[in-house]
Structure 1
Amino acid sequence: MDEPMRKLRDPRELRVLAHPVRLRVLQVLYERGTATATEVAEVVDESPANCSWHLRQLSKHGFVEETGEGKGRQRPWRPVGRPLQWGDSEESGELAAASDELSAVLLDEEVGSLRSWLAWRRTDPPEWQDAANFSQTSAWLTAEELAEVNAEIAAIIFRRRERMVDPSKRPEGARRIRMFAWAFPADPLPGEPPPARNAM
């Protein structure tokens, strides 16, 4: 990832993103490059007026911007394409609460997408059914190793990020693919000593 991360440190900007419709609106812009409120509305199944309002909310906090073309609801919007980061251990109080809320909304969206795919995947051509996958495992890692694993996963997920922001780089036959991964400490097994935890 060559682009600098945008670290979200304001509870207001986290709450702006912690809305399922706004997350979908932003996703549409990343996938299309640019889109009007009407075009976004067709994808997210909301009214153009509602999408226009959500686009303005995202714009106030620097997540999207107008391209400078068109008028009214026919004005195209584009994402301000920097990877976003939130949820580190330095957060507390209102910031931590807003960060956790955004993480929960994002997780709900991604799990919902996975459930949707499971419902229709058998209708896809066999090569796409076999190429898709999800996997699960457990491992015993130190904190440093866990950080390393997560960095490696992120590097894989973002390997072809340029295709998201530049549709001209998408090869023929490419389809939109959703990728989401997590690696986190599990609860202790019965009989294991509980880990030391920070006070809330």
Structure 2
Amino acid sequence: MSDQPPAVPRRELRDPAELRALAHPLRLAILDLLAELGTATATEVSARLNESPANCSWHLRQLARYGYVEEAGTGPGRTRRWRLVLEFRRVDQMSGELERALDAVQDVQLERQVQAIRDWRARRREEPAWAETTVESDCWTWLTAEEAAEFQAAYERLLQEHILPRSRRAHATDRPPGSRPVRVLYWFFPTGPVST
């Protein structure tokens, strides 16, 4: 029997509605919070995000409708607990509507990512051990499209080796002591004209 965790399931997003479900700051905040807590009720989410329980419950149901969260059992009474659906999602087949939906999600995500970096920078001096392990890198070079594809493939192998196997730790019972949520951001895009 292998000690390796089972592979993270993969899902290709083809329906623009699946993507548009994520183009909302509160829904992305809910997903981040579930990644941190493991499971939570709408009331627990609302307390942490300063939103009404009814609003959080509605957004959780929308996320469940599109397969991003699932019920994680019930608590006392009719209390419903929620958790992330652990899967690797990709958008490969681009269409006009799908592309516009992806743009909308990425715009909301960018705002959240920039804020997350600012929040970390504001508190990093309080955590010197973690400050030494974080990376902010801005570099550039000249690549062909083929070389860029090679870089992307190498990065995806790195994710497969180090990040995706640990993504199951989104469920609190799977986390080793001393672990904490870590965000990996990656931008790789051309910034100027093609060399002639």
TM-score bracket, shorter-length normalisation: 0.7 to 0.9
Q: How does 1:45-84 map to 2 (within 5 A)?
A: 45-70=50-75, 71-72=77-78, 74-84=79-89
1:142 aligns with 2:147: no
How far apart, in 2, do the equivalents of 1:40 and 1:11 lie?
26
Query: What residue number does 2:122 align with?
Result: 119
Runs of 4+ in 1 over 4 A off after TM superposition: none
How far apart, in 1, do the equivalents of 2:109 and 2:18 lie?
15
CA displacement 1:42-64 (0-9 Å, x = unmatched): 33232221111100111111211
CA contact (8 A) 2:13 2:89 kept: yes
In the comparison of the two structures, how many residue pairs are matched? 187
Q: Return the TM-score normalized by structure 2.
A: 0.83
Higher strand share: 2
Query: What residue number does 1:129 align with?
Result: 131
Percent of matched pairs sharing the same residue: 47
Query: What residue number does 2:112 align with?
Result: 109
How far apart, in 1, do the equivalents of 2:158 and 2:43 lie?
33
CA contact (8 A) 1:35 1:77 kept: yes
Deviation, 1:169, is 3.6
Q: Return the TM-score normalized by structure 1.
A: 0.82
Decide which of 153, 173, 181 is 1:151's aligned counterpart: 153
AA aligned to 2:180 is R
1:96 aligns with 2:105: no
Q: More relative contact order in 1 or in 2 (CA 8 Å, sep 6+)?
A: 2
Instruction: Give the 3 Å change call, closer, same or farther, for CA 126–181 of structure 1 in structure 2.
Output: same
Instruction: Give the 3 Å change call, closer, same or farther, for CA 67–121 of structure 1 in structure 2.
Output: same
CA-based RMSD of the aligned residues comes to: 2.2
SS in 2 for 1:17: coil
